[in-house]
Amino acid sequence: MTAPLLPLAVVVDLDDTLYPQADYLAGAAAAVGAAATGLGVDGAGVHAALVRELAAGSDAGGTIDRALLAAGVPARDLPALVPPLVAAFTRHEPDTLTPYPGVPEALAALAAAAPLGCLTDGNPVIQAAKVAATGLGPLLGEVLVTDTLGGRAARKPHPAGLLALADRLGVPADRVLVIGDRPGKDVAVAAAVGARAVRIRQGEYAHAPDEPRAEAVVDSFPAAAALALEMLGSAVPA
């Protein structure tokens, strides 16, 4: 079997790869609770229920609907309440999201060595607010939010986002190294285009099984970046 080609560019995930997503979700849930209070609902109850829903799976749809029901809100009231509460979640713009230790320095080293991009799933408004709050935007080069290519259906592991980002970076998709925390998304999207991936075991999905398996599994972004720099140092353009 032919070995995978060495990478010519690096693509990183955002949530739970560069910063702890729980920090963003805590603020967004508080914003929803405050908005619920303003709408005459038990905001504290909605806040607590939403925190539980997000802890059970932050990328599942309908979390605010379920939180309202769990807080005792009648189902008949949901059509009037859900849209403004979703808007409160979407509009949440944290002042600061602190990256994991060593992330800015590691990104700077990667950006100096090869084309660098970020591929992330989610509402484009929310993801842009996260990037701004981390302060990492200037280091990330190209940032592509998969939802801009077709909504939730275009999210990883669908290959459309990685193919588009590789094109922006000026390299073939199979010459990209993907760094991310989720095997079922970040590793799988790399596999979908014949590229390599390094998984970071941290964040919400730290205990998810290594399926599919990555090129390597590490415990921090700086460790992943160090591996990437080794590969890039050996890379020879096609």
User: What CATH number does residue 176 fall under?
Assistant: 3.40.50.1000
Last residue of a domain, one of 76, 91, 106: 91
- Please indicate, yes or no, if residue 216 is contained in any of the structural domains: yes
Which tens digit of pLDDT belongs to each residue from 204-213? 999 999 999 9
pTM of the model: 0.91
Residues 172 and 191 in one domain: yes
Same-domain check for residues 134 and 215? yes
- Domain assignment present for residue 219? The answer is yes
Query: Given 91, 115, 145, which residue is the final one in a domain?
Result: 91
Q: pLDDT tens digits, residue range 72-85?
A: 999 999 999 999 99
Question: Looking at the predicted structure, is the pLDDT value of residue 192 above 50?
Answer: yes
Strand order in the sheet with 216-218: 142-145, 116-120, 9-12, 176-180, 196-200, 216-218
The parent domain of residue 179 ranges over 9-20+98-234
238 pLDDT above the threshold of 50: no
Which range of 55-59, 68-72, 231-235 scores highest in mean pLDDT? It is: 68-72
Same domain, 14 and 62: no
How many other C-beta atoms are found inside a 10 Å radius of the C-beta of residue 21? 22
In a domain, 226, yes or no: yes
Looking at residue 4, what is its pLDDT?
Answer: 64
Tally of domains within the chain: 2
Contact 71, 45 (CB under 8 A): yes
Q: Is 2 among the domain residues?
A: no
Joined together, the tokens standing for residue 74 give 């009648």
Give yes or no for a contact between 216 and 199, defined as CB atoms under 8 angstroms apart: yes
Query: Are 111 and 150 within one domain?
Result: yes
Task: Kindly state whether residues 106 and 84 are assigned to the same domain.
Answer: no
